[in-house]
Structures are given as C-alpha cells and as structure tokens.
Amino acid sequence: MLIISSKLNTLIREALREDVGKGDLTTKIFVSPRLRAEAHIFAKQSGVLCGESVLRNVFAHVNPHLEISVRVKDGDLLREGEEVFVIRGSLRSILIGERVALNFISHLSGVATLTRKYVEKVKGTNAQIYDTRKTTPLWRELEKYAVRSGGGTNHRIGLDDQVLIKENHWRSITNDKVIRRKINEAKKKKFTEIEVRDLNELRCVLPAKPHAILFDNFSLGKLKEGVQIAKRFHPTPVLEASGGVSLENVRAIAKTGVDRISIGALTHSAPAFDFSLLVRDIHSK
C-alpha cells in the first residue's frame, strides 16, 4: 500500500482546492447538511486496482469522519461490475470529494492495468517491464507506484539516480576514446547505462563495460544481433530495449534476450480506468 508522503499530501490538497474552489455551489443548494448516505464505487471494466490510500486521503481532507470500506487492495484484479469501495457519512462530503477521488484512482488504475497487460505478454521470458521518466509532472511518485502495482519495475526516479547517456549526450562528445573514458569515470560514481542507436555505437562502447546498454529503436533483427554481440563480453551488461514497443510486438522483443523493456506509454498513454460512484441509502441524521 502506498504511504502518502508530505509531497503527495500537498498534491491531493491542491487537487481538491482546484476542483472545489470557494465551495461546491450545487451541493450547498440542493443537499441538506443533515443528510447521510452510502456511496458505492464500482469497476465498470476489468483490470487492476491502484490508488486506495490516495482515495482515502482525498476523502479525509474533505471530512475525516467519513468511513471507507475497501473490498480489494492495490494490485488486485477487478472484474467488471465489482464493488471496490463503500463510503459512509455526510452526503455533502461524499459529493465534494467524488470527482477528485475518481480522477486519481481512474488514472492510477489505468496505468496499473496497462502495465499488467505488458507483464502478461512477456511471461516465460527473462525480460522485465520497466517504466520511464515520461510521467505527468508532479505525479511521478504516484505513477511509478501504479507501475509496480501492475507488476512492472521502476526505472530511475530522477536524474540523480543513475547515469544514463542518451543521444544528446553523445552529440557533445565526438571522439570514441573520450566517450569510453567518460563511461569509466561515470561507473565509479553511479550505475551507468548508455543508449546506442546502431551496432557501430554498440561496438564503440562495449570495451568500456558499462553496467547497462539501452538499444534505442532497433529493428527486431538488429536487436537480436546486438544482444548476441553484447553477450560475448564479460561481464555482460544489463540489456534494455526501448522505442516503438507495443502490446503486439513486446513478446517478440522479449524473446531477443534483453533483460528489460522500457515503455513510456505505461505512464503517458494509459487509458483511464472506468469507475462509477453511486449513492444509496440517503437518510437524515
């Protein structure tokens, strides 16, 4: 279960402030403060749940006296029509927190669900599914948690986690000897990975023995050849493929022998998971 950090607590508070503004005009006019109710949140599709603690935190900000019952936990599979949460208490409070709570769990469950699809596709191979830094600004902690809930693995959280030499870093150094020297310098400080765009770049960097090689946008044929070349070196670096990965081709990529497949779409293109909140048993205090 995700622990709500002070940073996430602030994000949730600001999301509520954005939505509620000076107050929920409709609810104030139409809903008596004396009314209590039960609200049931249902899954309208099958998939993977993520965001229980976020939902709890949203409603706690609105009204700490609301009672929330949880039928499943993060990472569990949901069936279409399954009841996921029950919220009891002030009807006004439930309605005020409804949209923000659903927005959070819809996006996070969408990320977890898409991740699980990729994880299932590569079952039986040695490849693991990784995310990237292509996350929604300020949502990285949440989205990377959602990837883990779906069975995926987190790549670096930020630029200070590891060294990852990409195409634009290559452009600043045109001498092969210099790039190898820089790799050796980097290895002394942090886990060091280098992105290669073709087999010539691969052959250039392998003598420097980076901890990991990232094959960027390789065709299946070239990727398989690159993996075979890299595995002749000892110690063999961690081998990662990225670029152009889809549910249709991810298994074929996994079968080339790579250790990791990183997919930006897990966080930047996951469809929202469809939930519905229905209010029942409305009564006065």
Is 195 flagged in the annotation as binding?
A: yes
Is 265 flagged in the annotation as binding?
A: yes
Is 156 flagged in the annotation as binding?
A: yes
| Per-residue model confidence as pLDDT tens for the chain (285 residues) | 899 999 999 999 999 999 999 999 999 999 999 999 999 999 999 999 999 999 999 999 999 999 999 989 999 999 999 999 999 999 999 999 999 999 999 999 999 999 999 999 999 999 999 999 999 999 999 999 999 999 999 999 999 999 999 989 988 887 888 999 999 999 999 999 999 999 999 999 999 999 999 999 999 999 999 999 999 988 889 999 999 999 999 999 999 999 999 999 999 999 999 999 999 999 997
Is 236 flagged in the annotation as binding?
A: no
The single-letter DSSP state of residue 153 is B
**Per the residue annotation, which of 216, 240, 259, 260 is the catalytic one?**
216
Q: Residue with structure tokens 């949730």?
A: 12
Contact 130, 253 (CB under 8 A): no
Could you state, in order of their start, the residue ranges of all structural domains in the chain?
A: 6-118+271-284, 123-268
**Per the residue annotation, which of 195, 201, 240, 259 is the catalytic one?**
195
**Per the residue annotation, which of 7, 17, 166, 181 is the catalytic one?**
166
Let me know if domain 123-268 sits in CATH 3.20.20.70: yes
User: Does 121 participate in catalysis according to the annotation?
Assistant: no
pLDDT at position 173 is 85
User: Does 255 participate in catalysis according to the annotation?
Assistant: no
Is 219 flagged in the annotation as binding?
A: no
Peptide bond into 235 cis (omega under 30): yes
pTM of the model: 0.96
Is 38 flagged in the annotation as binding?
A: no
Q: Residue with structure tokens 């104030």?
A: 28
pLDDT at position 174 is 76
User: Does 131 participate in catalysis according to the annotation?
Assistant: no
Query: What kind of architecture, by CATH, is found in domain 6-118+271-284?
Result: Alpha-Beta Complex (3.90)
pLDDT at position 143 is 98
* 117-125 contact pairs (CB < 8 A, 24+): 117/247, 118/152, 118/247, 118/250, 118/261, 118/263, 118/266, 119/150, 119/151, 119/152, 121/247, 121/250, 121/251, 121/254, 122/250, 122/251, 122/254, 122/261, 125/251, 125/254, 125/255
Angle at the Cα of 236 from the Cα atoms of 212 and 198, rounded to 5 degrees: 60
pLDDT at position 241 is 98
User: Does 22 participate in catalysis according to the annotation?
Assistant: no
Is 248 flagged in the annotation as binding?
A: no
User: Does 134 participate in catalysis according to the annotation?
Assistant: yes
CA-based nearest residue to 231, from 239, 221, 243, 242: 239
**Per the residue annotation, which of 36, 117, 134, 187 is the catalytic one?**
134
**Per the residue annotation, which of 99, 148, 190, 203 is the catalytic one?**
99
